[in-house]
Amino acid sequence: MKPSFKAQNDSKSHNQAEKDSILLNQLSEKSNNQAMQKFYCQKFLETIQLDYTMAGHPSLARWVINSIQVNDSEQDTHFLFVSEGEVTLKSSNGEFLLRENSFATVPGNFSLDGSGQVLVATLLNYTGFFSIGGPIEPLGRLKYIDGCSATVLINPLKLGEPCLNFLYVPPGISQTPHTHPSLRIGLVASGSGTCTVDEGIFEMEEGTVFCLPENKLHSFSAIDDSLRIIIYHPDSEVGPTDDSHTMLNNTFVGEKSAQVLDAIRTK
């Protein structure tokens, strides 16, 4: 039996409704994605979380005042920096006191409790190595651009993996406008200056937090004071690999490095 005209029409209406619903969801997801990828910069005044899970390297940005408990992050790794005060860090690795200007990498669930302000940048679905360090030094150890210097506070475990960096911008320096191919999440540890982007010029001072989306043109400037900035990178262009690392390269059999001795290298 052929379906009636009404049944056919109802079926077409139902199919069209499904298509419209899918289209609306796609548009909504696109809109949310764009919102998540916007530039963000403001003074650290309250606990806040920004969702950058739609970025090329899915991440979360949290700026925490005094305390937080994260119980749904077993597969993730968190990069922490204490900008003010001190907090107690608890995780599966133990309990540790983090003081001002210290930093840490924490895989899995954790909690913070105390009186302080903490940057927490999280890379999803990545298992890092638990570590604590600090305090940061006055200047960077590596030459950067336009008179600036930098230090890798937490190194990538392997080439391409995330890291935490320190940037020093001397007084009177304005950086050449530039971009990065991946997200940046950061915090001004001390000093004052500006960040120039397409949207305008944003004041930066101690406690200012920011997110730079992928390929966002920007420039930091320090006017009368210097700028000392902590920056999370979700990826890296340098780092050890299975074919090149300090343990392998500096192991010698006779006069040959183990790097070129395939017969003894771990497969």
Residues of the chain with CATH 2.60.120.10: 42-133, 142-233
To the nearest whole percent, how much of the chain has pLDDT over 90? 78
pLDDT of res. 174: 97
DSSP letter, residue 88 = E
pLDDT of res. 55: 76
Across 25-39, 87-101, 217-231, least confident range: 25-39
Per-chain mean pLDDT for the chain: 88
pLDDT of res. 42: 87
Confidence at 53, pLDDT banded by 50, 70, 90: confident
Query: Per residue in 181-213, pLDDT tens?
Result: 999 999 999 999 999 999 999 999 999 999 999
Measured CA to CA, the distance from residue 35 to residue 32 in angstroms comes to: 5
pLDDT of res. 25: 44
Q: Which long-range contacts does 171-174 make (Cβ < 8 Å, 24+ apart)?
A: 171/222, 171/223, 171/224, 171/225, 171/226, 172/222, 172/223, 173/146, 173/147, 173/148, 173/221, 173/222, 174/146, 174/219, 174/220, 174/221
pLDDT of res. 15: 56
pLDDT of res. 2: 46
| Topology of the domain covering 42-133 | Jelly Rolls (2.60.120)
pLDDT of res. 103: 98
Residue 17: pLDDT over 60: no
Nearest to 216 by CA among 168, 182, 187, 169: 182
Residue with tokens 């989306």: 213
Residues pairing with 52 in the sheet = 59
Q: What is the mean pLDDT of residues 90-103?
A: 97
Query: Per residue in 222-257, pLDDT tens?
Result: 989 999 999 999 999 999 999 999 999 999 999 999
Q: Does domain 142-233 have CATH number 2.60.40.420?
A: no
